[in-house]
Structure 1
Amino acid sequence: MSEIERGILSTLIFFNIFQVPATKERILALLYQTKTNLSELNNNLNQLLNQGKIFKRGAYYALSQADLDRYEQKLTLVNKQWQKVFRFYWLLYLLPFVRQISIINSLALNNTNEKSDIDFFVITSPRRLYVARSIIIVILKLFGLYKTKYKVKDRFCFGFYVTKKHQDLSRVLIPGSDPLFAFWFASFLPLYGREDYLEFMKQNQWIYDYLPNFEPDSCFQKLKEPSFILKVIKKTLEIIFWLPAELLEPLARLVHIRHTFSLPENHWPTATTIAEKDILKLHALDPRKDFKAEFQNRLNT
């Protein structure tokens, strides 16, 4: 088996664990620890198809026919959630002090189900993380969009924030290797803030140790340029709220951090929650160690 074939199978193992297929463009971008180009990838994909080791339907490849079948069933749910995201794009864009928002987790992987929420990753201005989070919670609750313990389906979940001063996520990686975090990181789908996203990626060069073909530009298929009016309104809101935010950020930070660690789930053995000045990562059930074990086991069989 060639190195590229092994890389393809490794990447498709990741997608198979989540029971979704992938296009050749996505396989190339997320090709695990293997450097190649599209032409070589095509040749090796065809070889694996001829050997019966992978399957193809339309533009999608998978390790099993079941993944291809399931994907067709999931498309309606996926499209419904994207419609909701773009219906409220204006609201997401107008959130003060938010520089960049990306879709992450299940929707970014086209892996939604009947109970899935919609997860977001947020980059805020410096010294504005907890004010921004407070605004997000209040506004989205007013619109009936914010995820709660009892209302999850199709609700908006904001569980990972960083500021422009803390964009290097290498400290979040688990010891040894962290394949799930790498695949997750490379699956971000930015909604707005193109330049902020590109700057964020430059601060995370560790990704190329896992995925050497990854190109941030490959993630812009859902990026939308806000209208001039939206830009003016957002700028105006940030000017109006600048002084209150400057004064309230220390208090908001104290309240949010204390509340975060008052919750018992953030002290579970599976928790990797971080709540600090420039990063908030809410993760009570972190699956990365289990994923790593399964992924390595599948690679070795």
Structure 2
Amino acid sequence: MKDALIPLIFFAQFDRPLTLRELRRYGWGGELDVNELKQIIKKSDMHWSGEFCYVDETHIHEYARRRELAKKFWQRVRQSRWIFANVPFIKLVAVGNTLAYDNVHENSDIDLFVVTRARRVWTARAILLLWLSFLGLRVRSVKKYLLFSPEFFVDETALDLSLCAIANDYYLAYWLADLVPVWQTDYFETIWSANKWLKDKLPVAYRSPNRRPEFDKPMRPSWFAWGLEKILVGKFGDRIEAWVRIKQQRIIERNKQKLGINPSVIADDHVVKIHFNDRRAEVRERIEEFLAG
């Protein structure tokens, strides 16, 4: 029954305890009720105190502080949605990673996942980065606090994220399960339908996506974004797309050489995924060590 404890091992790497309800939601490859989970925890080396299950007791006190700090981050997201309204070709923006599960700290950023229209992923990315840079809201150095890090873009033809996975990709599955749509949230159902593979990995989480009601109120793209879309269609838009792609790919390659520790970079016609320190293999190794022990 060690599989039932995979969520605790995964989130312990980010100092995040889990409630029993969360442990059930994050159950890997199957579904157990709360009473079954209680019995498994009692027979394991894990701990249970109050509402939380945990590997290290310090995670409980730290999480209370981080959860409170996350309120400030969510306020930043709410106040910044107008930026997304002024970027053409965006079909959805979602928040992922630590903020998605309220576990931020004093040097956390705000990770964004962005879906664009077909054949305009590089154009949308360029304009979003320009907005964030102009407003001083983009991560540009080691200073990350309350800044946006839009490092994962796909267009509407590349919604199946399993194509970006490594073998036994626990990280990607949990990342997807916790995505919080914050702009054009209705489109999230399309994302979910395109990733039904998640149902086999995290069946309870697939039935209960991580929605926040404050972002469900519709917001329309601005006249500015609408006008840019009208200009950047057809062959002219294709030429602009090709030009901004070449410019950005050069910057990405340069940064990969300069900043890459364990880089994972996809930069093609449909996907732009940039992580200069990809921890997925490390996370997988720790989980598999636990399962084998």
Q: TM-score when scaled to structure 1?
A: 0.86
Aligned match of 1:245 = 232
2:106 aligned counterpart, secondary structure: coil
Aligned match of 1:210 = 201
2:175 to 181, 184, 194: 184
CA contact (8 A) 1:97 1:124 kept: yes
CA contact (8 A) 2:95 2:181 kept: yes
Q: How far apart are 1:235 and its partner, in Å?
A: 5.5
Cα separation, 2, equivalents of 1:281 and 1:89:
22
Q: How far apart are 1:100 and its partner, in Å?
A: 0.8
Q: Kindly indicate whether residue 15 of structure 2 is the aligned counterpart of residue 19 of structure 1.
A: yes
Runs (4+) off by over 4 Å: 48-52, 266-269
Q: How far apart are 1:72 and its partner, in Å?
A: 1.2
Q: How far apart are 1:287 and its partner, in Å?
A: 1.0
Deviations 1:172-194 (A, max 9, x none): 1113x111221122111111333
CA contact (8 A) 2:21 2:34 kept: no
Cα separation, 1, equivalents of 2:158 and 2:258:
22
Cα separation, 2, equivalents of 1:190 and 1:68:
27
Aligned match of 1:142 = 134
Aligned match of 1:201 = 192
Cα 1:293–1:51 change in 2 (3 A) is closer
Q: Which has the higher mean CA deviation after the structures are superposed, 266-275 or 95-104?
A: 266-275
Aligned match of 1:130 = 122
Cα 1:216–1:84 change in 2 (3 A) is farther
Q: How far apart are 1:48 and its partner, in Å?
A: 4.4
Cα 1:88–1:220 change in 2 (3 A) is same
Tell me which amino acid in the other structure corresponds to 1:287: R
2:57 to 65, 71, 82: 65
Question: Which 5+ residue runs of structure 2 have no aligned equivalent?
Answer: none
Q: Kindly indicate whether residue 237 of structure 2 is the aligned counterpart of residue 254 of structure 1.
A: no
Cα 1:240–1:216 change in 2 (3 A) is farther
Aligned match of 2:48 = 55
CA contact (8 A) 2:24 2:37 kept: no
Alignment map for 1:82-121 (pairs within 5 Å) = 82-121=74-113
Alignment map for 1:149-188 (pairs within 5 Å) = 149-175=141-167, 177-188=168-179
Tell me which amino acid in the other structure corresponds to 1:28: R
CA RMSD of aligned residues (A): 2.3
How many residues were matched structurally?
A: 287
Tell me which amino acid in the other structure corresponds to 1:56: S
Cα separation, 2, equivalents of 1:57 and 1:88:
36
Cα 1:267–1:30 change in 2 (3 A) is same
Aligned match of 1:29 = 25
Deviations 1:33-55 (A, max 9, x none): 1234xxxx211233246557431
Deviations 1:208-235 (A, max 9, x none): 33212222543112551345xx42xx15
Cα 1:159–1:266 change in 2 (3 A) is farther
Tell me which amino acid in the other structure corresponds to 1:190: P
Cα separation, 2, equivalents of 1:150 and 1:183:
25
Cα separation, 1, equivalents of 2:191 and 2:89:
16
Q: How far apart are 1:160 and its partner, in Å?
A: 0.2
